[in-house]
Amino acid sequence: MPFSAVLFDLDGTLLDTIADIADATNAMLVDLKKSPVSEAIIRSYVGKGTENLIARVLSDHHDGIGCKPDEIERGMVLFSRHYGRLNGNKTILYPGALKGLKDFKKQGAKLAIVTNKSTEFTPPLLARMGIDHFFEHVICGDTCTERKPHPMSMLHACELLQVKPANTLAIGDSINDARAAQAAKIKVLAVPYGYNEGVDVRTLEVDDIVTSIEAAAQWAAQH
Q: Catalytic residue positions?
A: 9
**Residue-by-residue DSSP string for the chain:** ---SEEEE--BTTTEE-HHHHHHHHHHHHHHTT-----HHHHHHH-SS-HHHHHHHHHHTSTT-TT--HHHHHHHHHHHHHHHHHHTTSS-EEPTTHHHHHHHHHHTT-EEEEE-SS-TTTHHHHHHHTT-GGG-SEEE-TTTSSS-TTSSHHHHHHHHHHT--GGGEEEEESSHHHHHHHHHTT-EEEE-TTS--TT--GGGS--SEE-SSHHHHHHHHHT-
